Amino acid sequence: MKKNIALVAHDNRKNDLVEWVRHNREKLSGNHFFATGTTGSLLADVLDDVHRLKSGPLGGDQQLGALIAEEKIDFMIFFWDPMASQPHDVDVKALLRMTVLYNIPTACNRSSADFLITSPLFTDEDYQPAKKDYSTYLNRLTKNTTT
């Protein structure tokens, strides 16, 4: 079964991500990819089936977040730059929050990306990450806003 993999990189990490993808092209082939803006353009030269979203600062991070909320993303590789402030830091934080909220396996650097794609679970067609039931939280939140 093909997986839907989000690929994202900040400007200073785009070349690192492209190099990593090129190095792991064989392991990654046969999957569907979603990438933001320029990253998607760069990866389209290396991978097949790259769906390009808007640039991160123009809403691409939010598009990915929506795909995660719709349970359309299985993994995310996000090479972010911890040394540079981003004009859309709040969007980045929201995207990472969505991966935690929906328990999406996420790699934020080359080492964790290597571990993720070499795990037997990466190719396990039956593996489904556990989903947390937030209904109790939502019911409590709704109850507090109506009283």
Q: In terms of C-beta distances under 8 Å and separation of at least 24 residues, what long-range contacts does 130-136 make, across chains too?
A: 130/103, 131/102, 131/103, 132/101, 132/103
Tell me the residue range of the domain where 134 lies.
4-146
pLDDT at 147 over 60: no
CB–CB of 31/64 below 8 Å?
no
- φ, ψ of residue 21 in degrees (nearest 5): -65, -45
Q: Please tell me the total count of domains within the chain.
A: 1
Residue 3 token pair: 């997986």
pTM of the model: 0.88
More confident: 81 or 23: 23
61 belongs to the catalytic site: yes
Q: Report in angstroms the alpha-carbon separations of 14 from 75, 116, 122.
A: 18, 19, 23
**CATH number of domain containing 24:** 3.40.50.1380
Computed over every residue of the chain, the mean pLDDT equals 90
Q: Which of 11, 45, 48, 61 is catalytic?
A: 61
pLDDT at 87 over 80: no
